[in-house]
Amino acid sequence: MSLSHGPQIIAIPGPSPVPDRVMRAMHRVSPDIYGGELSELNMRLFDRLAWVAGADAPPVAYIGNGHAGWEAVHANLLAPGDKVVALISGAFGWMWAEQTAAQGVEVVRLSSGPKAPDLGRLAEVLAADPGIRAVMVCQIDTASSVQADIPAIRAAMAEHEALLIVDAIASLGCAPMRMADWGVDVLIAASQKGLMCPPGGVFTWMSDRAMAKARPCPSPWWDWRVRRQADALWRFWGGTPPVQLMFGLVEALAMLEAEGLEAVWARHAALAETVGAAFQAWGEGSDIALTVADPGARAASVTAVHLPGADWLRAWLADKAGLTLGIGLGAAHPANALRVAHMGHCNAVGLLGTLAAMEAGMAALAIPRGPGALDAAARVVAARA
Ligand SMILES: *Cc1c(COP(=O)(O)O)cnc(C)c1O
């Protein structure tokens, strides 16, 4: 028999759960895209997007996914022959480096495995070459669930001229980000993760320093200078704006504002700690292990683990319990790995239910595991709530 009927829980690290409020805000016919209402909404949206990133200025927006955000940065800042450093802690870092290198950019890949970036190595590499144009890093690598310390990376770059480019696709609205205060030059985020919306919108914020270093862009559609001079709604989006997504984003950002950004970050940190405590207990005397050993480098929005029989467990949970977990993307043994997302619209009861259903699934499948995981998780919730 199956016990899956009822509300479904989707704990995959993107697209993340879309709140009912956001769904309702999007459920409407398109107004006139040349009328005043939508233009005003657009201005409000761009203002709130600056706020959520801690940026000095609104972003440049594109209809696209996260990969399109990488492309936008590439089109505006890099050219064949440029040299950049990629700090890589997981599969997303590798994919980004590959997309950049495929366009003739020399990419120095500094891989740290599922650990925080090696800042000593970064400082060495930068010291040896003043011509390095940029340092690229994922704040959270969604595959390994490593979270990088962005201010520490900025500090390690010292007086070097390189731009700091941060992929915050899996972290904006989940982990702290103060773009301007931290000296981040370029930030990338998309609509479907911490921003709790469907995929389809991607945003790039840039510092004045990054704008000053922008290259002639090969295409006016990607060109930050052109977009920043937008004086009509369609110019902000390079064509028809994603009308329903805009309504959804404004609603989602209002939810973040009502909760308070600090509270949103604290909620994610507490939920991450809750999952970490459960896996720590399950791992006692078994082969289950958190991918990121150092608690200080674990992501706020997603937890990756090694778990023998993970694919089997994921299938059981979807079939029997109404729970969908993330695949073991980028793991050494993907069939024995999975990811639990705690990204965006996620709370204690959803997460405790997720962990309890996993306990049931592992019991049903006789997956060896340590005792006390649910107690450990509940204790974190009790202490932090
Ligand atoms: C999801 C994600 C991407 C890719 O986004 P797409 O929308 O799938 O193109 C890139 N970087 C990080 C860190 C991500 O989490």
Distance 159 CA to ligand 1 centre (A): 30
Sign of the C-alpha dihedral computed for residues 101, 189, 152 and 95 taken in this order: negative
Residue 29 clears pLDDT 90, i.e. is over it: yes
Q: What is the pLDDT of residue 275?
A: 98
- Tell how far the Cα of 292 is from the centroid of ligand 1, in angstroms: 19
Residue pLDDT, tens place only, 314-341: 999 999 999 999 999 999 999 999 999 9
Whether this model's pTM surpasses 0.95: yes
From 16, 73, 92, give the residue whose CB has the most ligand 1 atoms within 8 Å, as the site to mutate.
Answer: 92
Identify the band that residue 139 occupies on the pLDDT scale cut at 50, 70 and 90: very high
Ligand 1 atom at minimal distance to the Cα of residue 14: 1
pLDDT tens digits along 219-253: 999 999 999 999 999 999 999 999 999 999 999 99
Average pLDDT over residues 6-31: 97
Amino acid 379: pLDDT: 98
What is the strand order of the sheet 83-88 is part of?
A: 60-64, 200-206, 186-190, 163-167, 134-138, 83-88, 106-111
Q: What is the mean pLDDT of residues 295-307?
A: 98
Give the nearest ligand 1 atom to 139 CA. 13
Instruction: Tell me the β-bridge partners of 229.
Output: none
Q: Is the pLDDT of residue 133 over 90?
A: yes
Q: Which residues line ligand 1 (CB under 6 A)?
A: 14, 65-67, 92, 138, 141-142, 167, 169-170, 190, 199
Tell me: pLDDT of 35 over 90: no
Average pLDDT, integer, range 333-350: 98
| CA of 77 relative to ligand 1 center, distance in Å | 20
Centre of ligand 1 from the C-alpha of residue 364, in Å? 33
pLDDT, one tens digit per residue, over 86-131 is 999 999 999 999 999 999 999 999 999 999 999 999 999 999 999 9
From atom 4 of ligand 1, which residue's Cα is the shortest distance away?
Answer: 66
pLDDT at residue 212 tops 90: yes
Share of the chain above pLDDT 90, in %: 99
Q: In ligand 1, which atom is closest to the CA atom of 68?
A: 9
Check pLDDT > 90 for residue 370: yes
pLDDT tens for each residue of 173-186: 999 999 999 999 99
* Per-residue pLDDT reduced to its tens digit, 45-100: 999 999 999 999 999 999 999 999 999 999 999 999 999 999 999 999 999 999 99
Instruction: From 12, 142, 145, give the residue whose CB has the most ligand 1 atoms within 8 Å, as the site to mutate.
Output: 142
Is a pLDDT exceeding 90 seen at residue 20? yes
Q: State the closest ligand 1 atom to the C-alpha of 140, by its place in the atom list counted from 1.
A: 13
Closest by CA position to 73, among listed 54, 91, 60, 88:
60
